[in-house]
């Protein structure tokens, strides 16, 4: 008799668990349909924001809210928090969202699924996680050439890389951990500008655990320029996903040494008059892609700008380069009148004379000379990992000595 009762109780328990899971899946599916419909309507109205987004709206455990209120919340709450990166003794600000994004992100629909997209190496995701020993990132791979790589940093550890096809990440234990995801490496030849081909993910699954976003209270450095700041070929001799790495770049190592957050606006083969893998350096400041212009209110906040451009302008005439470089500097100064601009002379010395001339016109522009400076490289141009560390040392030393940060 006891055995029969036990079997009946187990049967009822199993039925309850299965029914609960089916109901939850049904709710998630219905929620996803609602989100897709809202985003499609939002895209038609062109109300998506382009810079920082706290994505509680897409999280399965968050209530659906009016999209206009969501954008208003971002523009007031999150942007205000980011302005105060460096005024508190705390290391980070906790949010009530599932995770937060930093970098050049935007939202779109891929195969009927709401996704977060970026075509920029170095874009990041921040969250705290607890009560689970792992998590899975729901990447959507729509690349045409090579599968991208991401990196993750757990607490104060070093970045670890893996292909987005290996989207499972193990945690040290079930305690609370701070996690940073870095969109780390993709092919330089993907269709970024007009095709919006890059990184995309729809959600992060923490299984039975809990997650919340956080925003680091650090100063922020904008790294504006070409492949050297982007992290092309830092890990090998080809410009491919496996060897391109934002977390092994000059930008990453410079920011980490200065206890700052790196904000990447770097694209391979680009320059003052050359579009390269995205568009010109000036247009890169204004657009997330060909069809996504960045409104003034969504310009990223920053405390310092490092500009490295000109290497790829070897066919650009001196007068054209001088005019373009001057316009670029003034665009940066107009947006960030209180922020110093570090002007790095290309290591190839391309247009070095013109850069010296233009930077010398402005007291807020600081010139970093690079003639005779050598670093490890796989191809004679792009710093390797060791080379990137050496270049970062040059920049950190210059910035520190000049007291501009």
Contact 298, 331 (CB under 8 A): no
CATH of 49-216, one of 2.40.160.10, 3.30.70.890, 2.60.120.260, 3.40.50.10470: 2.60.120.260
Contact 164, 141 (CB under 8 A): yes
Alpha-carbon Rg for the chain, nearest whole angstrom, is: 23
Specify the length of the chain in residues.
Answer: 405
CATH second-level architecture of 219-402?
Answer: 3-Layer(aba) Sandwich (3.40)
Where in the chain are the domains?
Answer: 49-216, 219-402
pLDDT in tens, the chain (405 residues): 545 444 444 454 444 444 444 454 444 444 445 544 544 454 444 333 333 333 333 333 333 334 334 434 444 433 443 333 333 335 788 888 999 999 999 999 998 999 999 999 999 999 999 999 999 999 999 999 999 999 999 998 999 999 999 999 999 999 999 999 999 999 999 999 999 999 999 999 999 999 999 999 899 999 999 999 999 999 999 999 999 999 999 999 999 999 999 999 999 999 999 999 999 999 999 999 999 999 999 999 999 999 999 999 999 999 999 999 999 999 999 999 999 999 999 999 999 999 999 999 999 999 999 999 999 999 999 999 999 999 999 999 999 999 999
3-state helix, strand, coil in the chain (%, to 5): 35, 25, 45
**CA distance from start to end of the chain:** 78
Classify 25 as helix, strand or coil. helix
Q: How far apart are CA 357 and CA 107, in angstroms?
A: 41
């Amino acid at each position: 008799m006891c055995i029969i009762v036990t079997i009946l109780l187990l049967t009822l328990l199993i039925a309850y668990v299965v029914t609960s899971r089916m109901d939850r899946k049904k709710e998630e599916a219905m929620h996803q349909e609602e989100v897709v419909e809202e985003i499609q309507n939002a895209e038609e109205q062109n109300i998506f924001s382009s810079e920082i987004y706290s994505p509680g709206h897409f999280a399965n455990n968050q209530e659906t809210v009016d999209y206009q209120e969501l954008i208003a919340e971002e523009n007031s709450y999150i942007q205000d928090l980011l302005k105060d990166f460096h005024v508190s003794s705390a290391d980070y600000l906790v949010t009530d969202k599932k995770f937060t994004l930093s970098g050049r992100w935007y939202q779109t629909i891929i195969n009927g699924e709401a996704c977060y997209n970026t075509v920029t190496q170095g874009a990041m995701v921040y969250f705290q996680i607890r009560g689970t020993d792992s998590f899975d990132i729901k990447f959507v791979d729509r690349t045409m050439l090579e599968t991208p790589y991401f990196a993750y940093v757990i607490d104060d550890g070093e970045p670890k890389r893996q292909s987005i096809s290996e989207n499972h990440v193990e945690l040290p234990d079930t305690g609370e951990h701070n996690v940073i995801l870095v969109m780390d490496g993709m092919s330089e030849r993907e269709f970024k500008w007009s095709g919006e081909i890059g990184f995309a993910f729809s959600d992060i699954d923490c299984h039975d655990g809990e997650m919340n976003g956080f925003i680091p209270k650090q100063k922020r450095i904008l790294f504006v320029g070409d492949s050297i700041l982007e992290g092309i070929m830092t890990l090998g001799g080809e410009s491919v996903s496996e060897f391109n790495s934002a977390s092994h770049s000059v930008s990453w190592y410079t920011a980490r040494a200065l206890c700052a957050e790196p904000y990447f606006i770097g694209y391979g083969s680009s320059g003052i008059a050359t579009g390269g893998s995205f568009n010109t350096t000036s247009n890169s400041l204004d657009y997330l892609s060909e069809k996504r212009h960045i409104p003034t209110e969504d310009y990223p906040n920053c405390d310092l700008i490092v500009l490295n451009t000109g290497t790829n302008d070897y066919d650009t005439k001196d007068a054209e380069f001088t005019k373009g470089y001057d316009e670029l500097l003034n665009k940066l100064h107009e947006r960030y009148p209180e922020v110093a601009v570090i002007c790095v002379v290309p290591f190839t010395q391309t247009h070095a004379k013109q850069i010296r001339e233009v930077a010398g016109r402005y007291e807020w522009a600081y010139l970093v000379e690079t003639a005779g400076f050598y670093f490890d490289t796989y191809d004679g141009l792009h710093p390797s990992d060791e080379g990137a560390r050496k270049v970062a040392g040059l920049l950190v030393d210059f910035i520190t000595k000049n007291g501009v940060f």
